Amino acid sequence: MSSSQSFSADSAPGPTANAAPPLTPAFSPLYQQIKGLILQSLQAGEWRPGELIPSEMELAARFKVSQGTVRKAIDELAAENLVMRRQGKGTFVATHSAQQVQYRFLKLHPDVGNLEGEGRAQRTILECKRVRAPAEIARLLALRSGDTVVQVRRILAFSGIPTILEDIWLPGHPFKGLTAEQMANYQGPTYAMFEGDFGVRMVRADEKLRAVLPDEAQAQLLQVPTSTPLLSVERIAYTYNDIPMELRRGIYRTDTHHYKNALS
C-alpha cells in the first residue's frame, strides 16, 4: 500500500457555467475509506494475527487524514472483532487464539456449567480428503464447479459423549497440505489453526438453523435413535472482504447442550 495515498475534498473540479448538473457519486464517509484501506493491509498480511498495528498517529500520517478519522475507522474494526485494543499497549490484529474470542463461533453451550469448564472437545476425524467440488459446494464457496476442495468429516465429543457431527468443505488452494492428523492433534480452536498454519482468518459467518431427524448413519455416529430431534446448522465463514473460506454443515445433539446466541 502506498504511504502517499491521501484524500482531499478540494481536488474535485467545480461546475462550469453552462454544464449540466453533474451526477452525485455515492461517496462513502472518509473514515469508511480508511477502514477499507486498513482491511486491505490486513488481507494482504501486512500485519499478522496477534501483531501490533501502527498507532493512530502513524496511520493518520500515512493516509494524510486526521487522527480522529483513523480512530473512528479502528473503532468499527474493533466492534467487528477484527482488531483488539489493549489499554496502554495499542491495537492488535485480532486472533482466534485470544482467550476472549476462542468460543466466538461455537454457540453450543452445556446446560450445566460453561464452555471453559467443559474443556476442549475431543475430536475424531472420520475423513479428510481432497475432492472435486460438486456444483452446490462450489457455488457456496464462490468456486468453479470441479475446483478442488478439502472435505472433512469429524465428530466432536464432550465428556466422552459424541455431540456434534460436522461436514466441512474448504477451498483447496488456501488449505493445501491440510491433514487429518493436523486437525485432530491441534490443541486450540480449529479457526486458530487455519489462521496460524494457513494464513486464513475467519472474520464473520452466516448460519442457517433447522430441526432435523438423523439418518441411520448419523444416528449411529452420534449414538442416538433415528427418532431423536437434532439441530442442523449450516455455516459459511468468510475471511476479509467477504470471501467465503469454509462451508460447514453440522448436526448437534441438544439433550445436554443448547444453542446460545447473544443479540445486541
Q: Do 123 and 54 reside in the same domain of the chain?
A: no
Of 42, 63, 94, the one marking the end of a domain is 94
Grid cell listed for 100: 476472549
Q: How many domains is the chain partitioned into structurally?
A: 2
Q: Do 181 and 227 reside in the same domain of the chain?
A: yes
Of 94, 121, 150, the one marking the end of a domain is 94
- Secondary structure tally for the chain: helices H, strands E: 8, 10
- In terms of pTM, does the model score above 0.75? no
Asked, for residue 48, whether it belongs to a domain, the answer is yes
Asked, for residue 264, whether it belongs to a domain, the answer is no
Range of the domain at 207: 102-259
| CATH number of the CATH domain containing 200 | 3.40.1410.10
Grid cell listed for 229: 430431534
**Ordered alpha helix ranges (H), 94-232:** 115-118, 135-140, 180-185, 190-198, 216-222
Q: Do 216 and 236 reside in the same domain of the chain?
A: yes
Q: Do 66 and 127 reside in the same domain of the chain?
A: no
Q: Do 40 and 125 reside in the same domain of the chain?
A: no
Tens-of-pLDDT digits for all 264 residues of the chain?
Answer: 444 444 443 334 444 444 455 554 557 789 899 998 998 888 888 888 888 999 999 999 999 999 999 999 999 998 888 888 888 889 998 877 654 444 456 667 787 765 554 567 789 999 999 999 999 999 999 999 899 999 999 999 988 899 999 999 999 999 999 999 999 988 888 988 998 899 898 888 999 999 999 999 999 999 999 999 999 999 999 998 889 999 999 999 988 888 877 665
Q: Do 17 and 116 reside in the same domain of the chain?
A: no
Grid cell listed for 164: 456434534
